[in-house]
Structure 1
């Protein structure tokens, strides 16, 4: 799933290529991805892209005051096209193409989504706050307002595991499964630690880890073409999706805890005083 650093980089990529160009037309191939009808998506035709921004994991194209807001979900992606095939795309079948935006110079981009579980969401609104997911977002960790005091207020009194808190978009915007693993590894903190038990020193360490991890990922991705961002994310991760590999800090073996539809990775030596975390799913399989 694209998270804050990748969406930030996509926004920068589109600022360089799409801003100043008019939308020639929009082809909708997967009607289920389109979540709004007023204004209609056809209203974008003839309008100029004046800016590109980000709200958490949401990408926001300002098109002369209308906003094309995109959430790429688990398997969605944006693919830039220097030119399009002469033959228009056909909907249906195994075609991953959900939406195609043509610009006035012949370039544009596709929104695609792989797999059978569809979550890609596209909105055309007059104000990004009209998108429910945007309206409910918590503070953005790259905002100057996301101070150590802000984080202290977030964790205060919350009887929830810190891993789940970091992933909750209503609490902190933009961090998902991958970067929450990375942040907690950098902070040397157990993903199962209860948020309310964090000391002032813990909050300081966690705040620093959030900023350093996200800013480092954004810096690595800056200037990359859209098609290269996934590869950059994968190579930059130190523990997430690296079960069984050696921790780059201490060389202990990276372990995993599995859930119904996701998993987390961590280093026992760096994060849990050498103790493996209980993996209930695996325990049930071994019974």
Structure 2
């Protein structure tokens, strides 16, 4: 059997995820869109209405995802970004979007209805509406149930950006998804897969910032972050950007992530 190319594999997986969430969370109401990968500084993803046109003069919307986060954030959070932007797409076609980048009450209500809590910080206690918004998954909510069904069906992302920036790693380790009760949802692919951990090499700089979408807070470099051994799960805290090796009995020189 001929294997799909990395391009076909990656976009097929993202399209499958879009179709799954469209069916389970939006009753298949959303039209097709063009999913792209864009490295945008401090942005996990964005939605752009009618950004593309074909030779017949037809339009389609764009949902962009930032692959720099894929390896170092829990896969649940990557799916959150996709669904966050799907809510923007829903609002563009069936509601009344806020002006510019503003995430209004209608958007926030739709997010809550599908099990994602809007938050300006991506954590409990953040503002519910505003220009720069993240979200977190509600335990027992519709999104996590839909995500669990997707992951149970052997869904995966096969290809990962090897060079996330320090802020991407810090974001993944501070993600509220890392606190979920489901262990499989709480760790990043680089933590779950030793082969991937061996080839992912965080760098200091990230790509330049562009269009706003799912927004992040700039990392506070004075804060400590959590590092985890992917083999024995031993954890230590330190400044972002450290290169640590596990010294456990069965973990000779395994790098923390």
Give the TM-score band, short-chain normalised.
under 0.3
Q: Which has the higher contact order (CA 8 A, sep 6+)?
A: 2
